[in-house]
Amino acid sequence: MFSLFLYFFMSFFDQLLQFFVSGVTQGSIYAIVGLGFTIIYNSTEIINFAQGEFVMLGAMFMVTFNAALGLPIPISFVISVIAVLIIGILIDLLIIRPVRKPTHISLIIITIGASIFIKGVAMLAWKKDYHAATPFSGEKPISIGTAAITPQALWVIGITCVVLVLLHLFFEYTDTGKGMRASAINPKAASLLGIRVKRMVLISFALSGALGAVAGIIIAPITFAIYNMGVMLGLKGFCGAVIGGLGSVPGAIIGGFALGVLEAMGAGLISSAYKDAIAFVVLLLVLFMRPTGILGKGEMKRV
Amino acid sequence: MSEKRDYIYIGILIATVSLLPFFLTNDYYLHVLILIGLHTIIVLGLNLLMGYAGQISLGHAAFYGLGAYTSGILTAIYDFHPVFAALIALLFVGLIAFVVGIPSLKLRGHYLAIATLGFGIIISIIFNEMKLAPKGTDLPMGGPEGITDIPKLYFLKYSFGLDNILPVKLGQVTGLSNVVPNLYAFNIVFDTDLKYYFIVWIFALLLLIISNNIIKSRVGRALRALHTSETAASTLGIDIQKYKLSVFVLSAFYASIAGSLYAHFIASAGPSSFGFHKSIMLVVMVVVGGMASIWGSIFGAAFITLLPEFIDALNNSVVKIQPELFYIFEDFDIIVYGLILMVILIFMPEGLTKGIVDRLKGKFSK
Amino acid sequence: MILKVSDLSINFGGVKALQKVSFDVKEGGVKAVIGPNGAGKTTLFNLITGIFPPTNGEIFFDEVRIDGKKSHRIASMGITRTFQNLEIFDNMTVLENVMVGRHLKSGSGFMECAFRSLSARQEEKKIVESSLKYLDFVGLKPRANDMSTALPLGHQRYLEIARALAMEPRLILLDEPAAGLDERETEDLLMLIGKIRESGITVLLVEHDMGLTMEISDEIVVLDHGELIAEGTPREIQYDKKVIEAYLGEDELFT
């Protein structure tokens, strides 16, 4: 009797582990995307709704360079990231800078416009089909205990960790990184110290573009690339950032991973039909109960 | 006084709306005009919220959809009288807006935008997943095809049926099965597009007059005051939360009315019409028309609703010249939306109506 | 005592903006709150009008506790204010600004306004009439239909005052009304405050312009670094040692 119970418990536990693994994989993407949002938000207070499209473009470029043009994976990776990085810069220069009346509403809508535009161009360029991306190192699942994980998922988690470490080093030890942190905290003081805020904004767009691209590139072999993949990924990555605390870099990471795991658990244990809703329900709960999120900067209105 | 000017404008509008259908060569155009009317209704409400009270809603299509679904479900599945169903929809949607609004409207700026966005997406997911079965059948309605076989609109005994001439596009997209039950109104059933055109535009004009009345009144001033300075407004005795919530619920009412009208017109209510894309489209309409302009609401709704038609026309003329180029312009409207959004907000944030009018005035005064 | 402030304190994340400030305001007079920059004067006003709650202490209006209450509730009890950084409604005309001030003296709701009921229309007429009177009181009647942004700074200040008076308050808080005004305008302001006092409204005034303050005030309260350091008639304050010390190093000159 007890062994029967144990058996069910173990298989339940197996399932949990499997969900957890897939949750962490997905959560990595959300974390990176959320970071993209956070970095731009910190330097500009803008919520860049085009962030999801950076992810899509990264995936699409990767498919084009690697699968269509036959370039090796590492090279395609780098070129794709650079391409999206440039697009990020263009968005800052052509769309954000010329804005005459920068109110919250208008900036949000402008970036929504940009995302719609990019999606439309992508649809023209790559049509509405799913494009297969080649996994980096094969498809045979590896066993971790009783859970199976694909090599690509390992790549996702691994590259995410590398990205996080690099970002940390960047913000802590490079002048540019420190300058960006300063501008985020206090733009006036920063500019008095000689930090060119406009340049910081440009860099943040470039960086967010690159991050989005990386996310798209590593997830594409798992989910395949399609012109509208950016919408949900972007929105959910954004949910992760808000849950963790909009404006907080560790918050975006924690929020993203937490969201990925919650989603996987919820989809597996409760209902997979409403999986997409989980992110937004949690988002609303956080907004209503603690808008600054888990680690967010407190909003103190100084009068 | 500007009051006289208002009466003149309203008079012109009524005349135009009444006479327009008789100049149309094709029933399809009538159909488009009806859609413009529906969108105008929603945009009028959204404009009160965004343009005058200064709050953001990126999920307003949810209220539109809730109105449509409620009317659809109550009439198609539970055989309610359409007007009764629409009133229930109104109360239901208002209640949801109230409940969602209380915590949301305490948020500022982009947090409010995010909350409305999340709400809109949750509702559209529910639409996509929800299934209900009509009495006595095993066939659940709902899911991606939505609610179908919605009866026509009527107030009293006669039916307003929908025309048999339906654009092919619409039939395919909504999975519309057969003839829609009729909508009765004052012993008329709304069974032709023409009758539907008039009922929709009667509502649109009424709501336009109501919106105008509100703006020019004590309530309108309170809303405009809180848009500019919540602090100052509250020190003058204006209860900020109460007004924000009220205008939010009011804008949801507008959307619900449009939704109910939509359901009986299209005879079905599917999730694809009420998602994120639609919410954004509505915001674009408000912005294009001008964020604090009642008249601009009509213009914005018309402009954006007609856009796919323009592009289709472009498509068709291109196809005649060079058939291969057809692919380039197909689905071009998405790109154009994006471009329009960006260009207008960068260069003419006050909206197209005011922007163009101001520029024209500038030219004439020279 | 129309207003009583008792042991009022507030901290902003470690900064003690006000510490145990206590004073009374007699009904029907002009009382000024002065002090070097950063003394906490505007913070005091914000506390009284309910923009945020104090950390400690109480505020009484007509013996009723008002600290921590919401701004619009406090306003409905009869307290109003103007702002150091003007907060006129730039999306409305001069007249409409004052009409907003009549909000508490009118009552048409959404339904009445939406359908332009008879009562709403009658009330609107009354609102316009009374608003014009208040514009007249401050001398802005000729500009009633101009956009509020078309007015020069000085006139915008009068507009804010007219708007606040339209509420028929019993106590009005004027936050640096003379800031940015030239000599002529300051004279006019002086007379205006006099007129307000004559009409029976109590005035609590924050000002940096010492000339104006000494002339118009019945009593003065001095704050420095969040603490109340002196209270008395203008004469007494002028020669108070603590006050002079507090102002040493500032550009304020006593006349």
In terms of pLDDT, which residue wins out, A1 or A294?
A: A294
Sign of dihedral through CA atoms A128, A134, A136, A142?
A: positive
Q: In the predicted model, is pLDDT for residue B338 greater than 50? A: yes
List the single residue in A with minimal CA-CA distance to C13. Answer: A300
Do C98 and B221 contact (CB within 8 A), yes or no? no
The domains of chain B are located at 25-152+191-364, 153-189
Contact indicator for B264, B152 with CB cutoff of 8 Å:
yes
- Contact between B16 and B197 under an 8 Å Cβ cutoff? The reply is no
| Tokens 């084009």, residue located | A64
Which helix (DSSP H) or strand (DSSP E) does residue B132 occupy? strand B131-132
Considering only A181-195, B19-33, B80-94, C52-66, which range has the smallest mean pLDDT?
Answer: A181-195
Mutate to test the interface with A, among B326, B329, B334 (most CBs of A within 10 A): B334
Question: How far is residue C86 CA from its own chain's centroid?
Answer: 12
Percentage of chain C exceeding pLDDT 90: 56
**Which has the minimum average pLDDT: A81-90, B341-350, C179-188?**
B341-350
Domain residue spans in chain A? 23-230
List of chain A residues whose C-beta atoms are within 8 Å of the C-beta of residue B340: 113
Tokens of B167: 């654009």
In sequence order, what E strands does chain A have?
142-144, 147-149
Q: Give the pLDDT confidence of B213-242 residue by residue, as tens digits.
A: 999 999 999 999 998 899 999 999 999 999
Which amino acid type is present at position A267?
Answer: A
More confident residue, C187 or B308: C187
**Reduced to 3 DSSP states, what percent helix, strand and coil does chain A have, rounded to the nearest 5?**
75, 5, 20
- Average pLDDT over every residue of A1-10: 74
Angle, alpha carbons A140-A143-A146 (nearest 5°) = 140
Classify residue C87 as exposed, middle or buried by CB count within 10 Å of its CB (0-12, 13-18, 19+).
buried
pLDDT band for A89, please (50, 70, 90 cuts): very high
What 3-state DSSP class applies to A131? Answer: strand
Residues within 8 A of C (CB atoms), A 241-300 only: 300
Residue B242: how many CB atoms within 10 A of its CB? 12
The per-residue pLDDT for B138 is 59
C51/A303 CB distance under 8 A: yes
- CB-based contact (8 Å) between A47 and chain B? yes
Mutant choice from A103, A300, A303 vs C, greatest count of C C-beta within 10 A: A303
How many Å separate Cα B147 from the centre of its chain? 19
Cα–Cα distance between B358 and A269 in angstroms, integer?
Answer: 58
Closest by Cβ to C87, choosing from B219, B231, B240? B231
Query: What pLDDT was estimated at residue B160?
Result: 41
Does the pLDDT of residue B78 top 60, yes or no? Answer: yes
pLDDT at B191: 66
- Residue-wise pLDDT for C113-127, tens only, equals 999 889 999 999 999
Q: Is C89 left (phi over 0), alpha (psi -120 to 50) or beta?
A: beta
Residue pair B160/B279 in contact (Cβ under 8 Å)? The answer is no
Nearest chain C CA: its distance from B135 CA (Å):
39
Enclosing H/E stretch for B141: strand B141-142
Determine how β-strand C171-175 pairs with β-strand C202-206.
parallel
- Interfacial A residues in 65-104 facing C (CB < 8 Å): none
CB atoms C43 and A303 under 8 Å: yes
Mean pLDDT score across all residues of chain A: 85
What is the CATH code for B25-152+191-364? 1.10.3470
- Kindly state the percentage of chain B with pLDDT values over 90: 33
Residue A303 pLDDT:
25
Predicted local distance difference test score (pLDDT) of residue B175: 38
Other CB atoms within a 10 A radius of the CB of residue B321 amount to 7
Tell me how close the Cα of C12 comes to any Cα of chain A, in angstroms. Answer: 8
Indicate whether A174 pLDDT > 50: yes
DSSP-derived letter for residue B270 is -
Helix (H, G, I), strand (E, B) or coil at A206: helix
Residue C111 in tokens: 């339904």
Q: Would the pLDDT of A62 be above 70?
A: yes
Structure token pair of residue A135: 């996994």
d(CA B361, CA B349): 17
Average pLDDT of B37-55? 92
Confidence (pLDDT) at B167: 36
Torsion of CA C125, C131, C132, C135, to 10 degrees: -170
The whole-angstrom separation of Cα A107 and Cα A109 is 5
Q: Which of A10-14, B103-107, B212-216, C12-16 has the highest mean pLDDT?
A: B212-216
Of all residues in chain B, what percent are helix, strand and coil, respectively (each to 5)? 75, 5, 20
The whole-angstrom separation of Cα A123 and Cα C17 is 57
Residue in A closest to C43 by C-alpha: A303
Q: Residue A212's pLDDT is what?
A: 94
Question: What is the pLDDT at residue B105?
Answer: 86
Contacts of B251 (CB under 8 A, 6+ apart): B45, B46, B48, B49, B57, B60, B63, B97
> Quick one: pLDDT at residue B113?
86
Q: What is the DSSP letter of B269?
A: B
* Rounded Cα–Cα distance for residues C255 and C250 (Å): 15
Which residue in chain A is spatially nearest to C41 when comparing CA positions? A303
Q: Which of A126-130, A271-275, B254-258, C33-37 has the lowest mean pLDDT?
A: A271-275
Question: What is the C-alpha to C-alpha distance for residues B66 and B78, in angstroms, rounded to an integer?
Answer: 16
Task: Please report the pLDDT score of residue B51 as a whole number.
Answer: 83
Rounded distance between C-alpha atoms, residue A170 and residue A189, angstroms? 21
Q: What is the pLDDT of residues B97-118, one digit of tens each?
A: 999 999 988 887 778 888 999 9
Q: Which whole-number Å values give the CA distances from A57 to A52, C171, C215, in the listed order?
A: 9, 62, 70
- For B253, counting Cβ atoms within 10 Å of its Cβ (0-12 exposed, 13-18 middle, 19+ buried), the class is buried
Mean pLDDT of A134-148: 78
Task: Confirm or reject contact between B358 and chain C (CB < 8 A).
Answer: no
**Residue B329 pLDDT level (bands cut at 50, 70, 90):** low
Backbone φ and ψ for B131, nearest 5 degrees, come out as -135, 135
pLDDT value at A302 more than 70? no
Per the prediction, chain B carries an average pLDDT of 79
Give the whole-angstrom CA distance, residue B94 versus residue B256. Answer: 8
List of chain B residues whose C-beta atoms are within 8 Å of the C-beta of residue C102: 218
Measured distance CA(B339)–CA(A94) in Å, rounded: 12
Higher-confidence residue of C12 and B207: namely: B207
CA neighbor of A26 nearest in space, from A185, A210, A259, A239 = A259
Residue among B210, B221, B239 minimizing CB distance to C99:
B221
* pLDDT tens-digit map of A246-292: 888 888 999 999 999 999 988 887 777 788 888 899 999 988 888 77
Highest mean pLDDT among B60-69, B317-326, B351-360: B60-69
Find the residue in C nearest to B239 (Cα): C72
Rounded to two decimals, the ipTM of the complex is: 0.89
Q: Taking the CB of residue B98, how many other CB atoms lie within 10 A of it?
A: 14
Structure confidence at residue A58 (pLDDT): 94
Mean pLDDT of the A128-144 span: 82
Mean pLDDT of A93-114: 82
User: Rounded to a whole number, what is the distance in Å from the CA of B107 to chain A's nearest CA?
Assistant: 8
Residue A298 C-alpha, separation from nearest chain C C-alpha, in angstroms: 11
Greatest mean pLDDT among A210-214, A292-296, B76-80, C184-188: A210-214
Over residues A129-144, mean pLDDT: 82
| Residue C249: predicted pLDDT | 52
| Residue C202 pLDDT grade (very low, low, confident, very high; cuts 50, 70, 90) | very high
Residue C116's region, left for phi above 0, alpha for psi from -120 to 50, else beta, is left
Q: What is each CA distance from A211 to A22, A199, A202, B214, in whole angstroms?
A: 21, 18, 14, 48
Subunit contact C75:B236, Cβ cutoff 8 A: yes
Q: Smallest Cα–Cα separation from A243: which of A197, A300, A171, A295?
A: A295
Element (H, E) at B185: strand B184-185
* Tokens of residue C105, six digits: 């003296």
| Chain C residue with Cα closest to A298 | C13
Report whether B54 contacts B226 (CB < 8 A): yes
Residue C23: exposure state from Cβ atoms within 10 A (0-12, 13-18, ≥19): middle
Tokens of C136: 């007249």
Share of chain B above pLDDT 70, in %: 77
Asked whether the whole model's pTM tops 0.90, one would answer no
Residue with tokens 């209220």: B63
Neighbours of A100 (CB within 10 A): 11
DSSP secondary structure code for residue B142 in this structure: E
Mean pLDDT of B146-157: 67
Closest to A279 (Cα-Cα) out of B130, B276, B119:
B119
**Inter-chain residue contact A300 with C13, CB threshold 8 Å:** yes
Among A95, A120, A276, beta carbon nearest to B335: A120
The answer to whether A243 and A283 are in contact (CB under 8 A) is yes
- Asked whether residue A188 carries a pLDDT value surpassing 50, the answer given is yes
Task: Assign 3-class secondary structure to chain C.
Answer: CCEEEEEEEEEECCEEEEEEEEEEECCCCEEEEECCCCCCHHHHHHHHCCCCCCCEEEEEECCEECCCCCHHHHHHCCEEECCCCCCCCCCCEHHHHHHHHCHHHCCCCHHHHHCCCHHHHHHHHHHHHHHHHHHHHCCCHHHCCCEHHHCCHHHHHHHHHHHHHCCCCCEEEEECCCCCCCHHHHHHHHHHHHHHHHCCCEEEEECCCHHHHHHHCCEEEEEECCEEEEEECHHHHHCCHHHHHHHCCCCCCCC
Q: How confident is the model at residue B317 (pLDDT cuts 50, 70, 90)?
A: confident
Looking only at the bridges linking them, the beta strands covering C227-232 and C219-224 are antiparallel
